[in-house]
Structure 1
Amino acid sequence: MTSLPERHVMVQAMLESNPLFEGVFFTAVKTTRIFCRPTCPARKPRPENVEFYAKAEDAMTAGYRPCKRCTPLQLKGDAPAEVQTLLQEMEKAPQKRWSDAELQQSGLDPVFLRRWFKTHYGMTFHAYARARRLGKALGQLEQGESIDAAALDHGYQSLSGFRDAFQHHVGTQPGKSKDARVLVFSRILTPLGPMLALAEDRGVVLLEFTDRPALPAELEELKGRYGYSILPGAHPHLSRLDAELQAYFAGQLLRFTVPLHMPGTDFQQKVWRALLDVPHGETRTYGELARQMGQPLASRAVGRANGQNRLAIVVPCHRIVGAGGDLTGYGGGIPRKEHLLKLEKKALEQPTLFSEGAVSA
């Protein structure tokens, strides 16, 4: 059984509805025989009436039933059925422009959609739909289609309108699409909360929990310093990353194999590559990592570069601890860091899939 945080820590997290403990534990109320997420919006039970479980199946085995309000059997951030259906329709007909009236006729609330997409994608539904159409058009151009065809196939009646929208979102004119530096993004659901993943053909560039405070600055750096445009869409690297993350959380993967691309300074890249050499289930201090790199006096600089890592979990900055072994500094939150380290130690006791990762600079 996966070990839990100390009881007083879980009680405090439950009372505060702390999202950093999402997936770390579940609360089970003895008086109602219902179990919940730690962030359930229902009225908080008395601590003496609560039991804590590491997994939803453990709570069900103990005779508890899932809460209908916080739906603990679903991964946090999972799209409601109506949103999933809408996303599927958008992929089938990318040229379609959805008006609020059409959404309402389909039984969808435009206000709800605007809020849901803003929360989970950082943009409104209509902005997401525009960006997705342009991403599809870019793919068509890269395969040799004419500008006229790409514009008409994706709902643009005016070539000038298409060029303006393309320039705004992609950063170049359609005729120069091969020069575009585009990152495709998607959300990946994990037991510890939703993550944002970005990739280009050389590899995955970013993987972060969506509630990481530094995420907006990281996205701005990718756009401003490295010249990327960011569009929603699908990519083979993102599909592979999703599958490997599921295997990792199931304790069946010791090392990620998805290609990575890590833009940064020479020193940052050196630190990030050193992180990849820290074995699954082990930890290192900042000083040990600096010595491993042959720069024993650079522990503070190593710490800064460690915190600037954009690839959570895959580049395992969570395996770096303080000099006394304390779990200092993790952008995803200390509860997640502790959970990941416990998960990895447990995985070493089980049959696992081991393979080497592929990285590009």
Structure 2
Amino acid sequence: MFNDETIKKLYYQALLERDSKYDGIFFAGIKTTGVFCHATCPARKPKYENCHFYETAEEALLAGFRPCKRCNPMSYPKEIPTLVHEMIELVEENPEKRWKDADFSKLGIHAVTARRQFKKIYGMTFVQYARARRMGMALKSIRTGEKIINAQLDAGYDSSSGFIDSFSKIMGNPPTKSDNVKILYANWLDTKLGPMVSIADDEFLFLLEFVDRRGLEKEIERMRKRLNAAVIPGNTRISMKIDNELKKYFEKKLEKFETPIKFYGTNFQKAVWHELLKIEIGKVSTYKDLAKLINKPTSIRAIGNANGANQLSIIVPCHRVIQTDGTLGGYGGGVERKKWLIDHERNYNDIAPKE
């Protein structure tokens, strides 16, 4: 999401004027209607304060907006094949569905052809699109702080089933008085590198991830099942603390993260994560070095897998681990973010004293 006020005002003016030069440059998410549009949308223009601007359609989807039916932003910049149009309609008919190859076969669609056509037009696969739509619905109430029923209505449902199904499949069914479950609270955080979600209670932070991370949905499911927990939108002192610390981190004014965290995973994974915490800001290590430090010198691949399973992005700095040859290696939040974080920390000189 664009946070620079100058850019936002420029894009808002383009939206008011329906300036075709900006079609495909930004997508506007409209809070009052729950849709996102391209610059030349013919619909009545919203107020400035009701607009969010995104660089890609995927970002708008993950923020909980659905494609506008007036301007059909998913069709820009070219007319889309009938097959792709039908696939988008199928998602809107059943946005909480998880699509598999077998589903395409039932519809008489060849899965490989569908993936190729979709990615050629949008730069993301159909599964990524469907996931972004599903996750966006589940995350919308977290982003806005609204009650689930309000978010459900904003999402355009006449009944609560679709929205609540999407939310509960990821976050767990809302608990009742008779349930013996742990309650965790999810909060939306805007950062320089894109939106993140934190999941915490009043004692510990359990998860901190970029909302567009691949596999986030399954990661949340594994966490709540392991902890016998349900996740609901809300703030705790822990989520407020990590929000404040992240702001300071991105301003290079944080010496050390002090938010209490809780690991859940295998003993091997925990051993790796504890070693990650020892890597100082501005320094990097290698997968090979980590393997030696935990006395598992032949477990380099397993070290990489444990890094990938880290559920506390930035705080547990898996981004500071690179390949032995100096190349970056993988990162759940995307290699470009990994490079940005390493560069950010390499020049991390303006560190404020502890408060």
Taking structure 2 as the reference length, what is the TM-score of the superposition? 0.55
Aligned to 1:286: 287
Deviations 1:184-233 (A, max 9, x none): 00110001100011012331111111111110110111133332111001
Aligned to 1:170: 174
User: Are residues 1:181 and 2:182 paired?
Assistant: yes
Specify whether residues 126 and 245 from structure 1 end up closer, same or farther in structure 2 by C-alpha distance, changes over 3 A only.
closer
Matches within 5 A, 1:1-361: 42=22, 115=66, 121-123=136-138, 129-131=146-148, 169-171=173-175, 173-175=176-178, 179-347=180-348, 349-353=349-353
Q: Quote the offset at 1:302 in angstroms.
A: 1.2
Structure 1 CA distance for aligned equivalents of residues 149 and 256 of structure 2? 32
Q: Quote the offset at 1:174 in angstroms.
A: 0.8
Structure 2 CA distance for aligned equivalents of residues 292 and 126 of structure 1? 42
State the identity as a percent.
Answer: 30
> Counterpart of 2:22 in 1: which secondary structure?
coil
> Counterpart of 1:270 in 2: which secondary structure?
helix
Structure 2 CA distance for aligned equivalents of residues 195 and 125 of structure 1? 12
Q: Quote the offset at 1:350 in angstroms.
A: 2.1
* Structure 2: unaligned runs, 5 residues or longer: 8-13, 15-20, 34-49, 52-62, 68-131, 151-167
Structure 2 CA distance for aligned equivalents of residues 339 and 124 of structure 1? 25
Q: Contact between 2:65 and 2:136, CA under 8 Å: does it hold in 1?
A: no
Deviations 1:123-159 (A, max 9, x none): 38789855489xxxxxxxxxxxxxxxxxxxxxxxxxx
Q: Contact between 2:64 and 2:136, CA under 8 Å: does it hold in 1?
A: no
Q: Contact between 2:255 and 2:351, CA under 8 Å: does it hold in 1?
A: no
Q: Contact between 2:141 and 2:233, CA under 8 Å: does it hold in 1?
A: no
Matched to 2:224, the amino acid is K
Structure 2 CA distance for aligned equivalents of residues 220 and 185 of structure 1? 13
Specify whether residues 286 and 132 from structure 1 end up closer, same or farther in structure 2 by C-alpha distance, changes over 3 A only.
farther
Matched to 1:316, the amino acid is P
Q: Contact between 1:114 and 1:124, CA under 8 Å: does it hold in 2?
A: no
Specify whether residues 191 and 130 from structure 1 end up closer, same or farther in structure 2 by C-alpha distance, changes over 3 A only.
closer
> Counterpart of 1:340 in 2: which secondary structure?
helix
Matched to 1:303, the amino acid is G
Aligned-residue Cα RMSD (Å) equals 3.9
Q: Contact between 1:262 and 1:269, CA under 8 Å: does it hold in 2?
A: yes
Q: Contact between 1:185 and 1:232, CA under 8 Å: does it hold in 2?
A: yes
Q: Contact between 1:185 and 1:198, CA under 8 Å: does it hold in 2?
A: yes
Q: Which one has more relative contact order, counting CA pairs under 8 Å at least 6 apart?
A: 1
Matched to 2:174, the amino acid is V
Matched to 1:183, the amino acid is L
Structure 1 CA distance for aligned equivalents of residues 203 and 225 of structure 2? 19
Structure 2 CA distance for aligned equivalents of residues 218 and 120 of structure 1? 12
Matched to 1:42, the amino acid is Y
Specify whether residues 217 and 81 from structure 1 end up closer, same or farther in structure 2 by C-alpha distance, changes over 3 A only.
closer
> Counterpart of 2:218 in 1: which secondary structure?
helix
Specify whether residues 211 and 268 from structure 1 end up closer, same or farther in structure 2 by C-alpha distance, changes over 3 A only.
same
Matched to 2:334, the amino acid is G
Q: Quote the offset at 1:263 in angstroms.
A: 1.0
Q: Contact between 2:183 and 2:232, CA under 8 Å: does it hold in 1?
A: yes
Specify whether residues 126 and 234 from structure 1 end up closer, same or farther in structure 2 by C-alpha distance, changes over 3 A only.
closer
Structure 1 CA distance for aligned equivalents of residues 216 and 134 of structure 2? 14
Structure 2 CA distance for aligned equivalents of residues 170 and 331 of structure 1? 28
Q: Quote the offset at 1:43 in angstroms.
A: 5.2
Q: Quote the offset at 1:254 in angstroms.
A: 3.0
Q: Contact between 1:271 and 1:302, CA under 8 Å: does it hold in 2?
A: yes
> Counterpart of 1:288 in 2: which secondary structure?
helix
Structure 1 CA distance for aligned equivalents of residues 243 and 274 of structure 2? 21
Deviations 1:253-273 (A, max 9, x none): 132100101111111111111
> Counterpart of 1:229 in 2: which secondary structure?
strand
> Counterpart of 2:227 in 1: which secondary structure?
coil
Taking structure 1 as the reference length, what is the TM-score of the superposition? 0.55
Matched to 1:174, the amino acid is K
Structure 2 CA distance for aligned equivalents of residues 124 and 195 of structure 1? 10
Q: What number of residue pairs does the alignment pair up? A: 229
Structure 2 CA distance for aligned equivalents of residues 200 and 314 of structure 1? 17
Q: Contact between 1:170 and 1:182, CA under 8 Å: does it hold in 2?
A: no
Structure 1 CA distance for aligned equivalents of residues 32 and 210 of structure 2? 24
